[in-house]
Structure 1
Amino acid sequence: MENSAAIEMMIVNAIERTGRAMGKYMGERQTPDELLTVKEVAKILKVSLNYANHLVQSGIIPGLKMNGMKVRRRALEAWMAAMEGQDLSDPAQPVPIQRPSKSA
């Protein structure tokens, strides 16, 4: 039993050290569920404030109303990952980006 407790403690310590090292490697640490304003969302997406507001207000990017609309950073990152490779000309109906076919 003592061995399993010691092994468990070693694993916990290794995980904590890895987490700290990743934090240094990744630069600034941010809380996974940090709340972003629509203005911050616009800045991250490099779009206009009006467009970001449309994305959040319409529910395309999930948000919550709390003294203005807010978006969880994790939700924004998940949305961006899901939209990878999509044409967002109509963000309510994303379609895969059409690439020209190579002719031989």
Structure 2
Amino acid sequence: MTLAEIERLAGELLATGEMNADTAADLDRIVAEARAGTSYPDDLDYLAALHARLLSPNRVVEDVTASSPDVEADLRGQISQLQAELADARQTIAELQERLASGA
């Protein structure tokens, strides 16, 4: 797994806002070790498995066929969170493109 892949997987997991403090610290440590070139295979397996379990498009999602105000509010909240994450990602892309163009 490349450094870019490690950073992407960890970043996507952290961006969910659903990681507890210990998991967030583990993800930060995994990225730091990857940057230092001292990654552990078990950590990379953990990162890939956690990402697949939580963010895979094929993951099993609980049935929400019975619509209720709580379910709808939760879905609206998730939509808002995803829209914010998308805006952040677009901003990051724009900043990186600008840095590339300026040669920085």
- Please identify which structure carries the higher helix content: 2
TM-score higher than 0.5: no
Name the TM-score class by shorter chain.
under 0.3
Q: TM-score, normalised by structure 1?
A: 0.25
Q: TM-score, normalised by structure 2?
A: 0.25
- Please identify which structure carries the higher strand content: 1
Which structure would you say has the larger RCO, counting Cα contacts within 8 Å and 6 or more residues apart?
Answer: 2
